[in-house]
Structure 1
Amino acid sequence: MVNQTPVQIAWVTPDMDATERALSALLGARKWVRMPGVHLGPDTCRFRGRPADFVADVSLSYAGDTQLEIITPVRGESLYAEFLDRCGPGLHHVCREVVDADAFDAAVRDAESHGATVVADGVMAGGMRFAYVSAEDAGVPYIEIACLSDDIRTFFDHVKQEQQP
């Protein structure tokens, strides 16, 4: 079986400062790296089958080998804004990484064949492919499937190194 261990846990919140403080205290994250104004546009992202255009602030840290992500929607329709409106702040998704484009396509097809729905997908700046799949009726809001580019992997390694005392 392919390793499907989650590599990231993510929260959506309107108050990034408060969530960073709480996760630092509860999970031992040392330093957060913020990326304000991350834009995903209609040429590279879809939400519920339609081109998406939204902006979110993102903050990253690590607890051991697990990446922690905090997302604050800024503008536009997105799965983050929708979740915040429907559920309030909280745990949003876990992410699993795949090794290459073929494994990404296979993982998305496999999720769909098991009844999951692709809610959002696209390519982030830096070349990371992503798909958020959901099995809401089973209590699983989102699982993110990600295929990292070398540039994104290097950036994540930098964020992880920032955690060293």
Structure 2
Amino acid sequence: MLDQTPVQIAWVTRDLATTEAVLTSLTGAKKWVRMPGVHFGPDTCSYRGEPADFVADISLSYAGDTQLELIAPVSGPSIYTEYLDRCGPGLHHLCMEAADTDRLDAALRDAERAGAPVVMAGTMPGGMRFAYVSAQASGVPFIEFAYVPPEIRAFFDYVKQEQK
């Protein structure tokens, strides 16, 4: 497993604006950058072992060095709709970042051995790979592991700079 502090805290919500306002008040996040209509398609994403096809609105900000992510499902089944249906809006996952794709693959193998199999995985435009693992019976709904390539890192740095 990766030995580090989580780099992101994420919530699932039905209302980005309301959740942004509350988290701004509670965390001091100053500006949110929205990415509406992000499509996770079957060529690049899987959900519970099958090709995925869903859309979500995503909003990013920072509290200090920690990225805050809000996810509002728009259409199609995913771990986000699954969580909303089961638990309602709320804290969804933490993200751990891998330095490269080999370390990401190793972290996923370690998670599997620890009883937390991959439940959703994919590659975003720009080459960011992500995978969510879950050990629901142990009280760990989702942990995300991600490899963030330089192009995506530059975008995240932009979002972080917007907080100053």
User: Same fold by TM-score, threshold 0.5 exceeded?
Assistant: yes
Displacement of 1:117 in angstroms is: 1.6
TM superposition outliers: structure 1 runs of 4+ over 6 Å: none
The answer to whether the aligner puts 1:20 opposite 2:10 as a matched pair is no
The sequence identity of aligned pairs, in percent, is 68
Number of equivalent positions: 164
CA contact (8 A) 2:12 2:71 kept: yes
Displacement of 1:125 in angstroms is: 1.3
The answer to whether the aligner puts 1:6 opposite 2:6 as a matched pair is yes
What is the root-mean-square deviation of aligned Cα atoms in Å?
A: 0.9
The answer for unaligned runs of 5 or more in structure 2 is none
TM (norm. structure 2) is 0.98
Partner of 1:71: 71
What is the distance in 1 between the residues matched to 2:2 and 2:96?
Answer: 11
Equivalent AA in structure 1 for residue 9 of structure 2? I
What is the distance in 2 between the residues matched to 1:78 and 1:2?
Answer: 25
Partner of 1:86: 86
Partner of 2:44: 44
Equivalent AA in structure 1 for residue 71 of structure 2? I
The answer to whether the aligner puts 1:138 opposite 2:138 as a matched pair is yes
- 1:53-108 Cα offsets, whole Å, 9 max, x none, are 00000000000000000000000111111111111000000000000011010000
Partner of 1:147: 147
What is the distance in 1 between the residues matched to 2:107 and 2:41?
Answer: 24
Displacement of 1:2 in angstroms is: 4.5
Matched position secondary structure for 1:55: strand
Cα gap change, 1:20 to 1:78, in 2 (>3 Å): same
The answer for unaligned runs of 5 or more in structure 1 is none
What is the distance in 2 between the residues matched to 1:61 and 1:112?
Answer: 30
CA contact (8 A) 2:2 2:107 kept: no
Matched position secondary structure for 1:163: coil
Partner of 1:127: 127
What is the distance in 1 between the residues matched to 2:92 and 2:124?
Answer: 18
CA contact (8 A) 2:2 2:96 kept: no
